[in-house]
Amino acid sequence: MGSSGFPPLRAVLFDRDGTLVHDVPYNGDPARVRTMPYAREALAELRARGIATGVLSNQSGIGRGILTVEQVSAVNHRVEELLGPFDVWDFCPHLPEDGCGCRKPAPGMIINACRRLGIDTAAAAYVGDIGSDVAAAEAAGSRAVLVPTPVTLAAEVEAAPRVAAHLGAALEMLLSPIDRPAGSPLSGAGL
């Protein structure tokens, strides 16, 4: 166990929209995919260190009839073209009222991704831009890092155990030998 009480980091899992790529609500068009700052660099660093990566995303547009599975898959493919290959992908097609175990803030997607990677959830981190991302990570027993965007609520920032200014800072925080809580001096620093 590290000084944070977590075992060494073996996987970093990410929310898609608002975290790895700019959020375009119910996006089914791969041409509209634009990467977030530091996404390429952070993922390259993780891959160079042999740390698995994955993308786990709520996609209720499928359940609402706004998107098809094929459209979500096409957008996911474009994300991979821009950011490189991920070890695991998963998305929840359900509506919030469906009460499934996969839709964040439920931990199902994180638990399943870790199972597929052959690791304990405590050896994973989940990085997202809203409170349900943090809640899913905490419910799974994984590290949680919030990278706020303009849609992130102030209360979500205050409640998050780790807050980073951007993906580079999130990675620096996760790779540090000391688990830095929100508001630490390096939580806004670059790679």
Q: What residues does each domain of the chain span?
A: 11-127+135-151+158-175
Residues contacting residue 70 through CB under 8 Å, at least 6 positions apart: none
Q: What is the pLDDT of residue 127?
A: 98
Pick the CATH number of 11-127+135-151+158-175 from 3.40.50.1000, 3.40.50.300, 3.40.50.620, 3.30.499.10: 3.40.50.1000
Q: What is the pLDDT of residue 185?
A: 40
Residues of the chain with pLDDT under 50: 1-3, 180, 182-191
Q: What is the pLDDT of residue 118?
A: 98
Q: Which residues have a catalytic role annotated?
A: 15, 17
Q: What is the pLDDT of residue 186?
A: 38
How far lies 179's CA from each of 2, 7, 9, 29, 39, in Å? 8, 11, 11, 38, 21
Read off the pLDDT of residues 130-164 as tens digits, 9 standing for 90 and up: 999 999 999 999 999 999 999 999 999 999 999 99
Q: Taking the model in full, what pTM does it have?
A: 0.90
Q: What is the pLDDT of residue 1?
A: 46
Q: What is the pLDDT of residue 178?
A: 61
Separation CA 34–CA 140 (nearest Å): 29
Task: Report the candidate in 132, 90, 134 with the shortest Cα–Cα distance to residue 114.
Answer: 90
**H-helix or E-strand spanning residue 88:** strand 88-92
Q: What is the pLDDT of residue 4?
A: 58
Task: Report the candidate in 105, 102, 106, 101 with the shortest Cα–Cα distance to residue 89.
Answer: 102
Q: What is the pLDDT of residue 176?
A: 86
- With beta carbons less than 8 A apart as the criterion, state whether 165 and 37 touch: no
